[in-house]
Chain A
Amino acid sequence: MTEHIDSIKTYTIVFVLLLLLTLATTVTATIDLRSFNVVVALSIAVVKMLLVALFFMHLRHSSILTKVVVGGGLLWLGILLLLGLSDFVSRGWLRVPGK
C-alpha cells in the first residue's frame, strides 16, 4: 500500500497561505475594481479551494478514478451555473410577442 504521508511543514505552509489569501480577499474587496471585484474574489476562492482539495483532502495523491469523479462533479456544477445563468442573463435580449 503506497501511503503518502505529507510533512507537517507542507501542511503549515498551505495553512499560512490560506490565511494570507483570506486577508487578501478581505482587503481587495474594499478597493474599487468595478466588475472585477467579483472576479478577484472568486479567483482567490478557487485558489483556496484547490489548496484545500489538493493538500488537505490529499487529492494530489488520489487515484485517477477519484480525480475523474471530482472533475465530473465540478463539470456538472459548471453546466448548472452556466446554463442557469445564461438563461437569466439573456432574458429580454429577444423581443417575444405577447410578453
Chain B
Amino acid sequence: MDSHVETLALREQFETPTQQKEASTLGMWIFLVTEIMFFGGMFLAYAVYRHEFSEVFSAASNTLNVVIGAVNTGVLLCSSYTMVLAVRSAQIGNRKALIVFLILTMLFGGVFLGVKAYEWNEKFVEHHVPGPTFHLEGTSMQGQAQLFFSLYFAMTGVHALHMVVGVGIMLVLLFQAYAGRYTPAYYTPVDVGGLYWHFVDIIWIFLFPLLYLIGRHHH
C-alpha cells in the first residue's frame, strides 16, 4: 500500500478522489431511498383513503388555495434552480457566486415556509384543523373530511420539517463556503446538500397535485 498525503478531497481510506466522491454521493442516495419509502407510506395512506372517500376528499381539497399552492411550487422550483447554480459555482471555483446562490436558496426556502405557515394559519381560522372544533361546510362526512386534513397536515408538516433541516444544511454550507473550504477539487458537501434539497423539492412536486388539484374539475 502506498500512503498518500491526506486532503479533504482524498481521505486516507480511499484510493482516489473519484472513489471518495462516489462513496459520498451513493451514501446520500441511499439515505434518499429510505426517505422515498418513508414518504411512500404516507402516499399509500393517501391513495387508499382517496380511493375510499373520493368525493369528500375532492370537496376538502377544493378548500385549499390553489393559486397560493401553485405560486409556492414556483418558489420552491426557484430554490432548486439557485441550488443547482450554487453547486455549479462550487464546481468552477467561484466562491462569491456560491455564497450568493446559497443565500438565495435559503431565502426561497424561507419564503416557501412562510407561505406554508400562512396557509396553516388559515386552516385554524376556517376550523379545518382535525379536532373537536373541526367543521367542513357542505358535507355530512366530517370524519372522512378530517382524514383528508390529517393527511394534509402530516404530509405538508413532514415536508416542511425537511425544508427546515434543508435550510440548516444551507447555513452550514454557507459558513464553510465563506471560510473558503470548498474548491473545484473538493465541494462534495455542496453537491450532496444539493441532492437533499432537490429531493425535498420532488416530494412537493407530488404533494401539490395530490393535495391541491384532485377535485378542481368538479365544483
Contact = CB atoms under 8 A, between A and B. Distances in A.
Contacts of B85: 8, 11
B41 A42 contact: no
Contacts of A8: 85, 88
Contacts of A29: 66, 209, 213-214, 216-217
Contacts of B194: 56-57
B192 to A, nearest CB: 10
A52 B44 contact: no
A45 B209 contact: yes
B91 A3 contact: yes
B154 interface: no
Given A5-B91, A76-B37, A32 B217 contact: yes
Determine which residue in B18, B44, B199, B205 has the highest number of CB atoms from chain A within 10 A of its CB, and name it. Answer: B205
A96 interface: no
A42 B84 contact: no
Contact of B18 (A1, A32, A70, A80): A1
A5 B187 CA distance: 13
A1 B83 contact: no
Interface of A is mostly: helix
Interface string A30-63: 1111000110011011001100110111100011
Interface residues of B, number: 53
B68 to A, nearest CB: 11
B95 interface: no
Contacts of B202: 48-49, 52-53
Given A22-B73, A53-B202, A85 B26 contact: no
Contacts of A2: 18
8 contacts: A3-B91, A3-B184, A41-B209, A52-B205, A56-B83, A72-B33, A73-B33, A77-B36
Given A26-B70, A52-B198, 16 more contacts: A1-B16, A15-B81, A19-B77, A22-B70, A29-B209, A29-B217, A37-B217, A55-B84, A56-B84, A56-B194, A63-B25, A69-B33, A77-B40, A80-B41, A81-B40, A85-B47
